[in-house]
Structure 1
Amino acid sequence: MTAEERMMWVERYSALPTENVADAMDGLGLKRGSVLGLHPIDPSQKRAAGFARTILQKRRSTPWDGVNLAKHGKVIDDKTEPGDLLVISMGGIMDVSTGGDLLALRAQLRGVQGELTDGCLRDTDDIAAFGFPAYSAGTAPNKSAYDIETVGVDVPVTLCGVLIFPGDMVVMDRTGVVVVPSGKIAEVYESASRIAKREERVAVHLREGKTLTESRKLAAAEVGQ
């Protein structure tokens, strides 16, 4: 996929609510990709979509010796591309953060669209202030260098029971997070886009005074199932 094609899909999915994406996956009989139990650092943050750039972290296997094994700053510097979305698995570690404002700022300047982690973040007021969308399990003021090591990059990771592969499409908004398998990005988009258009028409007919049943029938005739 070319850089232009990547950004085309990012823009398309960034225009879709997560609920339309989730409904499309249900309608296509795909395994649900909703990542439940995480929260936006800013309830007013913009919708974001991007290709999963995965990082797997765990508790350090050796005592702190002055060497930072977390390494996700280097991953951001060396591996991220425009249109990526960071997906960091911390395996439920909640007493330290996996990153803060400087990592988020560097990622944003590299064209990364946002961040998703089942761990904690810090400097969340600052991250929100420069408009970097992020979902996390919580916040923690302590940094990761003393406690965490990165054991995998661009590997499959599991967040809140959802298996995420590098290159999957991640969509985040105020409602939640949905992950679309990389091989289904086009198919899910076509279905979700049709659902969004149909719901827009339902709303138009409701405002005209029609019932839900009438509005849905009219919208289905206009847009298709």
Structure 2
Amino acid sequence: MPLTAEAIEILKTITTATITTVLLKKGLRNVWMRGTKPLRPGQPRLVGPAFTLRFVPAREDLATPESWAKPISTRSAIEAMPPGCIAVVDAMGITDAGIFGDILCMRMAKRGIAALVTDGVVRDLEGVLGTGLPVWCNGAAAPPSVAGLTFVNWGEPIGCGGVAVFPDDVIVADQDGAVLIPRDKLETVLAEGPEQERMEAWIVDEVEKGAVLPGLYPMNAETKARYEASKKK
């Protein structure tokens, strides 16, 4: 199913928590990328197709400042990113070498990249924040990527935060972190996600009114009947 502008707007109304619940019901438990925390509190929920990048452990003959000028480099990968994508970077959870700094993030922002998601960290924190590029990562570190990582490719399956991410998987990121939706599950999430949000909002309202949880969450038959009746009002 294509990720249309309409689909993106619908997904922006569905929390990552709800998405994980919907996918859990379909047998998918491992879709939340560990270590993907919003770099700036209050970043809006963002949606986009995954553009994948992969690092491996640093090897001294490959992970050098000179490697930044090679055809296979983070610089070339950024120029290959289509506007609106979310760059998802496999940094193997390494937190003592920043994969991107302010210059690379500024270029991504200028090219219209929706966001950067990684299980690693960034460097030049103040500068990265100044670019305006939304980032989900595991913190910041001063050393450059080559201090701990070797960049090897883009546009191939990766592991990010313990989750298998394939190019063009749908990424949704909010204050709870980043999750992926496989393309063949996109229609399901679009169909069931908004209803799950409505139902949980109704439950929250009932709790606020003083309702007890047994029979309410999860709903028993009587509660389901009240909920269905409320939708007709």
TM-score bracket, normalised by the shorter chain, equals 0.7 to 0.9
Question: In the TM superposition, what is the alpha-carbon distance from 1:190 to its structure 2 partner?
Answer: 1.6
Question: In the TM superposition, what is the alpha-carbon distance from 1:118 to its structure 2 partner?
Answer: 1.7
User: Are the equivalent residues in 2 in contact too, given 1:194–1:223 (CA < 8 A)?
Assistant: no
User: Are the equivalent residues in 2 in contact too, given 1:7–1:82 (CA < 8 A)?
Assistant: no
* C-alpha distance in structure 1 between counterparts of 2:65 and 2:176, whole Å: 42
**1:75 match:** 77
Question: In the TM superposition, what is the alpha-carbon distance from 1:160 to its structure 2 partner?
Answer: 2.4
CA distance 1:76–1:222, shift in 2 (3 Å): farther
* C-alpha distance in structure 2 between counterparts of 1:7 and 1:49, whole Å: 10
Question: In the TM superposition, what is the alpha-carbon distance from 1:206 to its structure 2 partner?
Answer: 4.0
* C-alpha distance in structure 2 between counterparts of 1:17 and 1:9, whole Å: 14
Q: TM-score, normalised by structure 2?
A: 0.81
1:183-222 superposed matches below 5 A: 183-212=184-213, 213=215, 217=223, 218-222=226-230
Asked which structure has the greater CA Rg, the reply is: 2
CA distance 1:29–1:100, shift in 2 (3 Å): same
User: Are the equivalent residues in 2 in contact too, given 1:199–1:219 (CA < 8 A)?
Assistant: no
1:50-105: CA deviations, max 9, x gaps? 1110001122462537342572222121x212321001112233332110222222
1:65-144 superposed matches below 5 A: 66-68=66-68, 69=70, 71-77=73-79, 79-144=80-145
Question: What stretches of structure 2 of length at least 5 have no aligned partner?
Answer: none
3-state SS in 2 of match to 1:196: helix
* C-alpha distance in structure 1 between counterparts of 2:11 and 2:210, whole Å: 31
Question: In the TM superposition, what is the alpha-carbon distance from 1:109 to its structure 2 partner?
Answer: 2.7
1:137-195: CA deviations, max 9, x gaps? 23111223566433221111112221111111111111222111121112122211110
Question: In the TM superposition, what is the alpha-carbon distance from 1:7 to its structure 2 partner?
Answer: 3.2
* C-alpha distance in structure 2 between counterparts of 1:214 and 1:25, whole Å: 22
**1:155 match:** 156
* C-alpha distance in structure 1 between counterparts of 2:59 and 2:229, whole Å: 58
CA distance 1:220–1:97, shift in 2 (3 Å): farther
In the alignment of these two chains, the number of paired residues is 221
1:105-151: CA deviations, max 9, x gaps? 22223222111112220123333344322122231112235664332
Q: TM-score, normalised by structure 1?
A: 0.83
* C-alpha distance in structure 1 between counterparts of 2:181 and 2:212, whole Å: 33
Letter in 2 for 1:201: W
Question: In the TM superposition, what is the alpha-carbon distance from 1:223 to its structure 2 partner?
Answer: 5.5
* C-alpha distance in structure 1 between counterparts of 2:133 and 2:104, whole Å: 11
**1:47 match:** 45
Question: What stretches of structure 1 of length at least 5 have no aligned partner?
Answer: none
CA distance 1:220–1:108, shift in 2 (3 Å): farther
